[in-house]
Structure 1
Amino acid sequence: MIGITDVEAAAERIAGHVVRTPTVPSPGLSALLGVPVTAKLELLQRTGSFKARGATAKLLSLSEAERAAGVVAVSGGNHGIALAVMAAALHVKATVVMPRSAPERAVEIAQSAGASVRLTDDMAGAFSLMTRLRDEGLTLVHPFDDPVVLAGQGTVGLEFAEDAGDLTDVLVSIGGGALISGVATALRARRPDVRIWGVETEGADAMSRALAAGGPVPVALSSIVSTLSAPSVSQLTYDHVAALVTDVLVVPDRDAVQGTLDLADHAKVWAEPAAGCLLPAARRVVERVGEGVRLGLVVCGGNATTGDVMAWSERFGLR
């Protein structure tokens, strides 16, 4: 497992390449949830999500030979965008493998940044192709099974610990688990009394299933939230979550999309459902914890188009 010194080293390495995103009290969310809420606005990060941190940390750690070989990543959207853009900035050739379910906008951004984008029928096929390309000589930048990437994502938690007021509970979305692993590492070191809660959507619940099984297991993916859709977590992220996280909550896709609408209406931010899922989970945390709760939300990304959200809202009958 990584430690706070790894996260601090990553923060020093990526400084100047990424944004120190705002940490702000949210009067609108506080009124909506009935408790004080502070939001870490990672959707304002370069490339629209926290993924730029881990991608940059990994790219800057590579040897000249690894850089020269070119890099490859698999992604449901945000990791691919981040790797494509940050690799271009650092003059490294990138290949991004995505399932056809990935948002069209993510594919367009990765291609426009100069990456070679390879599409597969599903996420399992994307991971398989990524592995083959790695075996053929490309340098792997894994979205969550890499301690350097975990430490890079952990800089979100380092900043949150330094910039937020008094918090009792922090909620973090989970796909493969790199963000929550890094954030939990930083928060446990800097604010050991804070409880950390993971949030997944139904059909993208690899971490909660791993916790139930005692280790990573493959899951059938059915969530609309492609950015949380890992076919399994890694042993690395499982170990961090099992040791550091209070619980992992699973919410329906419909509630995640409603959360996106609520974030727009009440927090005045345009987030994707991977962040929208935090709001229904936050209500459950408030019920479980009771009086005195002070919430922190890591608003992880904003790479959903208005068209995407309108289509999902219509599908679920939301207004």
Structure 2
Amino acid sequence: MLIGITDIEAAAERIAEHVLRTPTVPSPGLAELLGAPVTAKLELLQRTGSFKVRGAAAKLLSLGEAERAAGVVAVSGGNHGIALAVMAGALGIKATVVMPRSAPGRAVSIAESAGAEVRLTDDMAGAFKLMTDLQASGLTLVHPFDDPAVIAGQGTVGLEFAEDAGPVTDVLVSIGGGGLISGVAAALRARRPGVRIWGVETAGAHAMSAALTAGGPTEIELSSIVSTLSAPQVSPLTYEHVSALVDDVIVVSDAEAVQGVLDFAERAKLWAEPAEGCLLPAARQVLERVGDAELGLLVCGGNATTADVTDWARRFGL
């Protein structure tokens, strides 16, 4: 069953005192770069540096006493782990975060500083397996995307965007496991039913486009540098939302995503991650397909370090 606008509105009320209503602003620099009006929702200014705190807060605040007492566990490529650790610490809940060794070092240190136990695995597939084992041992799962409460929390990004943005014809949203785009699409279909919604992935972290091709969730081999988008497969819940509510999913290369990070910094004065850098090459594809458009970009996080970006740029000769 798809998340509805009433679920998202209830989540917005529940988490209001724990999250920021982030700015939604026009970007003249990106408009000049892309040749079309651009409105950006700045979730990189959110508490913990990404939208993920919304879903984490919505889920943690919905837990019963026994579930809280058991402690919580999550798997993350970076941002969900930060969000869970910070929110769990604020609410006095013991948290364990499982991350692959490829996760940004800053994410690991922030999660540990917030009081969470961080467990590292060799890869993301191993991280998901360890998360499942820890859940079986009695910890309460706070899944990064396969949870209606989390999706409703992420949907508050779309609710705010619908209320705050000017005219927009096309909205681009990054996809990892699909929690953000599922919630945002549900909100926009209710509040701005005429907009086109585009998902964006990087090659090697293309679990949703693979699912759409296969007709359902299917496991992929992860190879993208973008750990924050690297889910080995999407869930039936997020697949159903995207297949029903999203116009299409675009896949771009890691190199294009990193170039997008540099373009965000130079043109928009925003320190974005490759998970948002991928939106800019995808926006060019959207403009080629639809012609004139007024673009909305959900800039979902900014937790990359200068060392990360420098290394990626050097790797791709940018």
TM-score where L is the length of structure 1: 0.99
SS in 2 for 1:221: coil
Q: In structure 2, what is the Cα distance between the partners aligned to 1:168 and 1:230? A: 29
Tell me, yes or no, if structure 1 residue 202 matches structure 2 residue 203. Answer: yes
Tell me, yes or no, if structure 1 residue 38 matches structure 2 residue 39. Answer: yes
Tell me, yes or no, if structure 1 residue 5 matches structure 2 residue 23. Answer: no
Q: In structure 2, what is the Cα distance between the partners aligned to 1:22 and 1:103? A: 26
Q: In structure 1, what is the Cα distance between the partners aligned to 2:242 and 2:207? A: 12
Tell me, yes or no, if structure 1 residue 226 matches structure 2 residue 236. Answer: no
Q: In structure 1, what is the Cα distance between the partners aligned to 2:71 and 2:195? A: 40
SS in 2 for 1:15: helix
CA positional deviation for 1:189: 0.1
Partner AA of 2:312 in structure 1: W
Deviations 1:106-133 (A, max 9, x none): 1111001100000111111111110011
- CA RMSD for the aligned pairs? 0.4
Q: Which residue of 1 aligns with 2:138?
A: 137
- Map 1:1-319 onto structure 2 (within 5 A): 1-291=2-292, 293-318=293-318
Q: In structure 1, what is the Cα distance between the partners aligned to 2:45 and 2:91? A: 21
Partner AA of 1:305 in structure 2: T
SS in 2 for 1:92: coil
Q: In structure 1, what is the Cα distance between the partners aligned to 2:90 and 2:195? A: 36
CA positional deviation for 1:193: 0.2
Q: In structure 2, what is the Cα distance between the partners aligned to 1:275 and 1:10? A: 24
Q: In structure 2, what is the Cα distance between the partners aligned to 1:311 and 1:66? A: 41
What is the number of residues matched between the two proteins?
317
SS in 1 for 2:143: coil
Q: In structure 2, what is the Cα distance between the partners aligned to 1:160 and 1:253? A: 27
In structure 2, runs of 5+ residues without a counterpart are: none
In structure 1, runs of 5+ residues without a counterpart are: none
Deviations 1:57-106 (A, max 9, x none): 00000001000000000000000000001110111110000011111111
Q: In structure 2, what is the Cα distance between the partners aligned to 1:297 and 1:101? A: 26
Deviations 1:171-228 (A, max 9, x none): 0000000000000000000000000000000000000000000000000000000000
Partner AA of 1:173 in structure 2: S
SS in 2 for 1:254: helix
CA positional deviation for 1:12: 0.3
Q: In structure 2, what is the Cα distance between the partners aligned to 1:10 and 1:47? A: 18
Partner AA of 1:237 in structure 2: T
Partner AA of 1:302 in structure 2: G
Partner AA of 2:256 in structure 1: D
Q: Percent of pairs identical after alignment? A: 80
Q: In structure 2, what is the Cα distance between the partners aligned to 1:201 and 1:128? A: 23
Q: In structure 2, what is the Cα distance between the partners aligned to 1:161 and 1:267? A: 21
CA positional deviation for 1:148: 0.3
SS in 1 for 2:18: coil
Q: In structure 2, what is the Cα distance between the partners aligned to 1:125 and 1:307? A: 26
Q: In structure 1, what is the Cα distance between the partners aligned to 2:3 and 2:234? A: 16
Deviations 1:282-310 (A, max 9, x none): 0000110102x000000010010000000
Partner AA of 1:129 in structure 2: L
Q: In structure 2, what is the Cα distance between the partners aligned to 1:125 and 1:311? A: 25
CA positional deviation for 1:152: 0.1
Q: In structure 2, what is the Cα distance between the partners aligned to 1:223 and 1:122? A: 12
Large movers: runs of 4+ above 3 Å: none
Q: In structure 2, what is the Cα distance between the partners aligned to 1:200 and 1:22? A: 24
SS in 1 for 2:198: strand
Partner AA of 1:297 in structure 2: L
CA positional deviation for 1:4: 0.4
